[in-house]
Copies of this chain bind each other. A is one copy, B any other.
Amino acid sequence: MPSSGFRTSYRVVWADTDAAQVVHYANYFRIFERAEEEFYRHLGFSFTEWSSRGLWFPRVEAFCRYKKPAKFNELLQIEVAVRDLKEKSVKLEFRVLSEKSDTVFASGYIIAVAADKKTGKATAIPVEILEKLRPLSE
């Protein structure tokens, strides 16, 4: 997976684990979203600003492939890649690695679409965001 160059880290907390003593499978989607939020913050805008423009950024698809279970206290590295940037939607790919990047725990993606908060209809991604995503897109 090529990458946007953006990478963030996340420490697995006790609340992320389940009775198999590994990160619960649904929590990878929280880890993806946290990385997405940090990625946008890094680019200079947050979901809060989307919201103040009357936009949401709902997910239309989400996928994860689980390779090796991550455990409590693990310091995860999360890579973010921008794919399939379109007028109204974008696919972000994620790779969750160990601290030394020698183990891949999981990889996956979300596809999010810009939507008008009032009508719920898909709408164009604001130009400033598109312009920042385009050079990172593959």
Is A27 part of the binding interface, using a Cβ–Cβ cutoff of 8 Å?
A: yes
Q: Which chain B residue has the least Cβ–Cβ distance from A56?
A: B20
Question: Interface residues of A, CB < 8 Å — how many?
Answer: 40
**In the assembly, what is the distance between CA of A19 and CA of B21, in Å?**
4
The 5 closest A-B pairs by CB, nearest first: A26-B29, A17-B19, A19-B21, A25-B59, A15-B30
**In the assembly, what is the distance between CA of A61 and CA of B46, in Å?**
29
Contact A18 B19 (CB under 8 A): yes
Contacts A26-B26, A30-B26, A58-B69 given: A18-B15 contact, CB under 8 Å?
yes
Contact B14 A58 (CB under 8 A): no
Is A87 part of the binding interface, using a Cβ–Cβ cutoff of 8 Å?
A: no
Is A6 part of the binding interface, using a Cβ–Cβ cutoff of 8 Å?
A: no
